[in-house]
Amino acid sequence: MDANTRWLSKAHAEFRKLRNGEVADNLRDQGIEYKTIWGLESYRLKEVASMLTEQIPDDAARQQLAESLWAEDVRESKMLATRLYPIALLTAERAAQWADDVRYTELADQLCMHLLSRMADAPRWIARWIEADSMHRYMALMLILRLDLTGHAEQATAIATDASQPMWLRAAAQRVATAEV
């Protein structure tokens, strides 16, 4: 068994140990569909990430683990991957690929907070994604909020008032439109 497989098994063991069936059931009831949902709360994922980061000081090994976790159709694996990926090793291409993979706002929030907002390409993605599909628009709006950027209130207002947009996207746009940035 190679080192990455051992770290992956360690992460899975932590998921099993910390699982919350009530949260997992609630997420499924809300239409969140992954192969596996353990129901870990964000603070639990932060604990697992801290433990693994301490035990895996090598950036390349953490990168490999993060990529393996992201490849799984497991809610907690994808969220943990956003916390483990060393920002210095993350390419713009890999970050954009992960953004394309996102299906739910919860994961979009994690990806924006832990990785995308820390990348030099974030303003370029905002400009491109603000006119894209709903999930990319959502990520653009979250990046605007995270980066405290100005100049997007007009676009955000247009999204917020467009009844053809999903309610969750309109709500996020409204937050940007009314933010004092």
- Confidence at residue 149, expressed as pLDDT on a 0 to 100 scale: 56
Domain ranges of the chain: 1-89, 104-181
Q: Of 73, 78, 115, 72, which is closest to residue 94 (Cα–Cα)?
A: 115
- Confidence at residue 181, expressed as pLDDT on a 0 to 100 scale: 41
pTM for the whole thing? 0.84
Question: What CA–CA distances, in Å, run from 89 to 63, 64, 66, 106, 151?
Answer: 7, 10, 11, 24, 30
Tell me the C-alpha distance between 44 and 168, whole Å: 25
Report DSSP letters for the chain, one per residue.
--HHHHHHHHHHHHHHHH--HHHHHHHHHTT---SB-----HHHHHHHHHHHHHH---HHHHHHHHHHHHHSSBHHHHHHHHHHS-GGG--HHHHHHHHHH--SHHHHHHHHHHTGGGSTTHHHHHHHHTTS-HHHHHHHHHHHHHHT--S-HHHHHHHHT-TTS-HHHHHHHHHHHH---
- Confidence at residue 17, expressed as pLDDT on a 0 to 100 scale: 97
pLDDT in tens, the chain (181 residues): 799 999 999 999 999 999 999 999 999 999 999 999 999 999 999 999 999 999 998 999 999 999 999 999 999 999 999 999 999 999 999 999 999 999 999 999 999 999 998 888 888 888 889 888 889 999 998 888 877 654 556 667 777 788 887 887 778 778 777 764 4
- Confidence at residue 150, expressed as pLDDT on a 0 to 100 scale: 47
- What tokens does 20 get? 């919350």
- Confidence at residue 120, expressed as pLDDT on a 0 to 100 scale: 83
- Confidence at residue 131, expressed as pLDDT on a 0 to 100 scale: 84
Tell me the C-alpha distance between 171 and 176, whole Å: 9
